A and B are shown apart, each in its own frame.
Chain A
Amino acid sequence: MKAAVIVFPGSNCDRDMKVAIEQSMGSTPAMVWHGDSELPETDLIAIPGGFSYGDYLRCGAIAGNSPIMREVVKKASEGVPVLAVCNGFQIATETGMLPGALLRNANQKFICKDVDLQVVGRNERFVGEFENGQIVRFPVAHHDGNFYADDETLARLEGEGQVAFRYADSDGNVNDATNINGSRNNIAGIYNEAGNILGLMPHPERLISEQLGGTDGKIFFDNLINSLS
């Protein structure tokens, strides 16, 4: 199996993503610069977190129009799995690969902490061994993670099983008190309609060993790599 990690000026989780994929896959993913217009042959494309282009204009807006993203959008439409984390999620919504948008957090604060997330649905490709409703713990680190979609889009996401993760607590409650950033329906991550693109604000690549505080991210990547291998 082969994977590629896209690198933008201002990406800061590209190497964490590389290490997480490497650890589960056993080989090194290709690191692809934003100015490239071609992707190597790959079974997984990861768009990492960070502050691409300094978040100028809107988070992800400039990156969404970079040469490599045209190729990523094309590959995604052909069915290549895409994992878009944090700034990657923002970039994916800016390109239209995923619906909705990420607004400034409702409380105006940059939120940086581990959060409990409810796994929603059973997208075998991305959540594999995780059960529907299971609580997992990934860190978040964002200022603009407040997921917004209009009523019609939201109804479609809910109706078609495109919600992937919700902000919850360790007991599995999903409510206003567990909604850290004001996201509609506590949404922390979504799939596209075809189910081959996952965008999420939390960072599974940051909790991949006990030394880092947890291994739910390692399980996530093991699941993902297993299902794609």
Chain B
Amino acid sequence: MKARVTISLKNGVLDPQGKAIEHALHGLGFEGVGDVRQGKVIELDLGDISKEDAPATVDKMCTQLLANTVIENYAIELLD
């Protein structure tokens, strides 16, 4: 079983890197681009874990290490 965790900054938390990307896109002529937010994707090979246990286990990984819930949201996707 594999999992993909997508981590992004919460709304309202300043994302200077997203802003820099936004400005660069405007500079390239993509003027219609609005707010840009940058995040990260972490792919995990979970080994032999069961489908039932996987969500809670990955959630635990997210709260303990992968995401800082003071500033970040996370979304978990389980992949077969």
Contacts and interface: CB of A to CB of B under 8 A. Distances in A.
> Are the chains A and B members of one assembly?
yes
Interface of A: 57-58, 61-62, 65, 93-94, 99-101, 103-108, 146, 148-150, 182
B20 interface: yes
Contacts of B71: 101, 103, 148
Given A108-B16, A182-B14, A65 B70 contact: no
Those 10 A-B pairs whose CB atoms lie nearest each other, nearest first: A101-B70, A101-B71, A108-B16, A104-B16, A106-B16, A101-B68, A58-B68, A108-B20, A65-B65, A148-B71
Contacts of B17: 104, 108
A146 B14 contact: yes
A145 to B, nearest CB: 12
A93 B16 contact: no
Contacts of A105: 16
Given A103-B71, A104-B17, A106-B14, 15 more contacts: A57-B66, A61-B65, A61-B68, A99-B70, A101-B68, A101-B71, A103-B13, A103-B16, A105-B16, A107-B16, A108-B17, A108-B20, A146-B14, A150-B12, A182-B14
Interface string B8-33: 00001110110010000000000000
26 contacts: A57-B66, A58-B68, A61-B65, A61-B68, A62-B65, A65-B64, A93-B70, A94-B68, A100-B70, A101-B68, A104-B16, A104-B17, A105-B16, A106-B14, A106-B16, A107-B16, A108-B20, A146-B14, A146-B16, A148-B13, A148-B14, A148-B71, A149-B70, A150-B12, A182-B14, A182-B16
Interface string B34-61: 0000000000000000000000000000
Chain A interface, >50% SS class: loop
Contacts of A146: 14, 16
Contacts of B16: 103-108, 146, 182
Contacts of A101: 68, 70-71
B22 to A, nearest CB: 12
Nearest to B19: A108
A61 B69 CA distance: 12
A57 B14 contact: no
Contacts of A104: 16-17
B65 A57 contact: yes
B63 to A, nearest CB: 11
Query: Which of A61, A99, A104 gathers the greatest number of chain B CB atoms within 10 Å?
Result: A104
A106 B13 CA distance: 11
A106 B20 CA distance: 10
